[in-house]
Amino acid sequence: MRCPGQDTRYWKPGDIFEAPCPTCGNILEFFKDEPARSCKNCGHRVINPRMDFGCASYCKFAEQCIGELPPDLLAQRQELFKNRVAIEMKQYFHKDFKRIGHAAKVSRYAEQIALKEKADMAVVLTAAYLHDVGIKEAERKYKSAEAAYQEELGPPIAEAIMERLGAPAKLIKEVCDIIGHHHHPRPDETLNFKALYDADMLVNIEESRGNYLSNKESLEALIDKKFLTETGKKLAREVLLK
């Protein structure tokens, strides 16, 4: 198979463009992936002004292809990774829009909490998108969406998704660990876990409002007792008690 980044069938309009030679002004045609071209008029070697290694921001073989990645590309890569985790999650849940919506909402709150609490955004968001992926297997295997079953069956699925996207081993390990006990905090939890836990808790309360305490004081007591971060508590009060 050919690398899609090099395959012109996947190119967009504008990936082949014209630029003037800086010495003589002669118009040269560039392909986005060629580093330089000689000017036919004056022979000057013109550097491609819009060289685009866009594919390197998402390709898991980018390092092998173009060597060590520059910082801006690395940043772009992390951003793209998050988006692709979201898309994978969505494909996994297929037409189960409730769960897709749940994951999207948990990610939204998790992002807000992680930002304020200065948790690791990549870990928190990846865990937020994937935290419930065990549910389908749990329903199939145990005929139950019970938290313990989800925690048992989720990590291998999450691992496969992250590996496919070329995530670093460290991230995979931490995210799987979080997913593997996301309803059961240990005595000494990481900040990353807490951010996901609070976000999930908040969405769960929101989604089952009717079953939860409608009484304002007891809801407040619940928030104080259950939520693990200050930002999580604050956000929960804003969302649930307003």
Please report, as ranges, the residues that interact with other proteins according to CB under 8 A.
12-13, 83, 86-87, 89-91, 94-95, 97-98, 100-101, 104-105, 108
Q: How far is CA 189 from the centre of its chain?
A: 22
C-beta of 105 vs 181, nearer to other proteins:
105
Residue closer to other proteins, measured from CB, 151 or 232: 232
Q: How far is the CB of 91 from other proteins (least distance, A)?
A: 8
Minimum distance of other proteins from residue 214's CB (angstroms): 18
Cα distance between residue 187 and residue 148, in whole Å: 18
Q: What minimum distance in Å lies between the beta carbon of 89 and other proteins?
A: 8
Q: Which residues of 173-185 are buried (b: 16+ CB within 10 A; e: fewer)?
A: ebbbbbbbbbeee
CA 83, CA 228: separation in Å to the nearest integer? Answer: 27
What is the SS3 assignment for 52?
Answer: coil
When the beta carbons of 82 and 181 are compared against other proteins, the nearer one is 82
**Interatomic CA distance for residues 31 and 215, integer angstroms:** 65
Q: How far is the CB of 210 from other proteins (least distance, A)?
A: 15
The residue among 27 and 97 lying less far from other proteins, judged by its C-beta, is 97
Q: Are 181 and 132 in contact (CB under 8 A)?
A: no
Task: Give min distance, CB of 14 to other proteins, in A.
Answer: 9
Nearer to other proteins, 140 or 242 (CB): 242
